Each structure stands twice: as C-alpha cells, then as structure tokens.
Amino acid sequence: MLLVRSRSEVGLWSEHTRKAGRRIGLVPTMGSLHAGHTSLIDVARRSVDRIALSIFVNPLQFGPAEDYESYPRDLERDLDVAAAAGVDLVFAPPDVEMYPNGEPGVNVVPVGGVDRLCGRSRPGHFTGVLTVVAKLFGIVTPDVAVFGQKDYQQLVLIRRMATDLNFPVDVESGPIVREADGLAMSSRNRHLSATDRKRALRLSATLRSCAQLFAGGHRDPQDFVRELHRAGGAGVSVEYGEVVHPESLAPVDRVEEGAVCAVAAFVGDTRLIDNHVLGTDPGF
C-alpha cells in the first residue's frame, strides 16, 4: 500500500494504473476509520481493480463553532486499517496541498435540497463537501466513488454534482453499518460518555419504530415525525426528525416505499445523524 501526500503523486499513480488497463475506485474519508469505512472499500472492490482512499479532515465543511480542531485524527491507526482492508493507495494531504492559497477561489455551491435536514443548521457545510469531493474527483480521476448512506443528504448532493457537472464517475453507496445494539457507526461516537452512549440508542430505536409503523400500514408523515422526535429526552436534543423524498429531499405528503426517515440530535455535546429508507430491511 502506498501512502502519498501530494496531488502530483496521486496523478502519476492514476496514470500508471490506467495505462495498465485497471479501473480505479475512490473512497473519500476524514480518517478515524471504522467498519463503516471498510464496508465502503468492500463495495468499491466489486467493480474496480485498484482502490484509493483519501484521508483529509476538510476545514471547509466545518462551521466556526463546530468540532474541526477536536475531530479525531490517528493516521498510523488508519493506515493499518486501510492496509488490512486491501487499499492500494492512501492519499493523506496536508491542508496546503488541497488549498494552496487558503480558501479556494472557486467553490461548488449546491442548489436545491441544501436548505433542509443537516443543511438547515450547517450553512456552507455542503459547499465545503462538494468542493473537496470535486477536487478529489479531479485529482484521483476514479471510475467509481463510494459514499455511505448514513450521510444521506451528502450522498444525494454528490450524485447530483457528478451528474450536473458531467464527472465521468459512478457514485455508489454503501449501507449503514451498525454496532450490535443498533447504533450507527460514526467517528464521533468516541466522543460519547458511557451514559451518552446508551442515550444515543434512542436514534436507532425511533427509526426501528418508523420501520414498524410503515410495515403496519401507516402512511401519514406526521406519525413518523412524531416518532422520530421521541428520540429527545434527558441528554438528547433532537435537531430534526423528518420524512423526505429520497431524491428531492423534500418533505412528503404521503409516506411511500423508498421515503427516508432522517434524524439528527445532540447527545450531550456530540451531534449524531441516522436514517432509514422505508421498505428496506432495517437490519437492527
């Protein structure tokens, strides 16, 4: 496995890989790798010959009061995880390599669907996400890029960007990976105290209840919204609980198969998100 720090090194690797007739997969991450990330590597491996994984805590997608400085970083551990998962190249650039002039002069600004869910409380977040992903697409030139379903709004917006800007990359998704008790895996879980870790299970519990409501024939979105907000309580402050269309992300008037139940909450000081696509096996 190669570890590279510069865009030029990635470009040479990609050029050599393509000349050898091999397809490239990209798994963008911010590090702090866990089983959710390695599952994305497994998804990529189904359709490519070589896998590049990026590790970059992108400052553009963090607001002034968010956890950029405290975001968990452990490159040596991440490299061990990536090597064990069969990654061929890890791109771990410093900030100056991605943004040589500080903030970029050109950003990718999403239109539509960005003022909902996480975008409502994180202005500029998805501009930062799309800008860095566009840069990674240009640097790595992958045939396939894989993103996790847990960041559902991000997945939808990246797919739109790839289509609208004619990136020659297939954007694929990997399912949410959960702990045995149902908690969605997240790099931020390590910030939870033992008490908050138990409280965080309310998020997956409400999603499980939503799956049961749908299986029982409920179709009024307010039934699902009320259930999602039941995640709130001592130590848990719900930011949003919504049922949205899987592509437009707009609230639905009637809940149909494929609609997405999404919830975000602060558990203690840690912000967590989770979701479930109705009509699919909840698996938790």
pLDDT tens sequence for the chain (284 residues): 999 999 999 999 999 999 999 999 999 999 999 999 999 999 999 999 999 999 999 999 999 989 999 999 999 999 999 999 999 999 999 999 999 999 899 999 999 889 999 999 999 999 999 999 999 999 999 999 999 999 999 999 999 999 999 999 999 999 999 999 999 999 999 999 999 999 999 999 999 999 999 999 999 999 999 999 999 999 999 999 999 999 999 999 999 999 999 999 999 999 999 999 999 998 88
Which of 174, 205, 220 is the endpoint of a domain? 174
State whether 217 and 167 are in the same domain: no
Q: What is the CATH number of the domain that holds 155?
A: 3.40.50.620
- DSSP for 224-276 reads HHHHHHTT-BTTEEEEEEEEE-TTT-PBPSS--TT-EEEEEEEETTEEEEEEE
Query: Residue 276: its pLDDT value, please?
Result: 98
Q: Catalytic residues, which ones? A: 37
User: Residue 158 class from Cβ within 10 Å (0-12 exposed, 13-18 middle, 19+ buried)?
Assistant: buried
Q: What is the CATH number of the domain that holds 201?
A: 3.30.1300.10
In this structure, are 214 and 88 located in the same domain? no
Give the pLDDT of residue 282.
84
195 and 141 in one domain?
Answer: no
**pLDDT at site 163:** 98
Please report the pLDDT score of residue 140 as a whole number.
98
96: its two tokens: 């100056």
Counting DSSP H helices and E strands in the chain, the numbers are 10, 9
Q: At which of 150, 174, 198 does a domain end?
A: 174
Say if CB 246 and CB 148 are below 8 A apart.
no
Q: Is residue 227 part of a domain?
A: yes
Tokens linked to 30? 């911010």
Do 102 and 240 reside in the same domain of the chain? no
| pLDDT at residue 156, rounded to an integer | 98
pLDDT at 124: 95
Number of domains in the chain: 2
- What pTM value is reported for the model? 0.96
Q: What residues make up the domain containing 263? A: 187-277
Q: What is the per-residue pLDDT for 22?
A: 98
Instruction: Give the tens place of pLDDT for each residue, 175-190.
Output: 999 999 999 999 999 9
Beta bridge mates, 144: 25, 170
* Residues 156 and 35 grouped into a single domain: yes
Last residue of a domain, one of 143, 174, 205: 174
DSSP 3-state assignment of 207?
helix
pLDDT of residue 191: 93
Instruction: Based on the fold, state whether residues 169 and 137 are members of the same structural domain.
Output: yes
Instruction: Please check whether residue 267 lies inside any domain of the structure.
Output: yes
In this predicted structure, what is the pLDDT of residue 135? 98
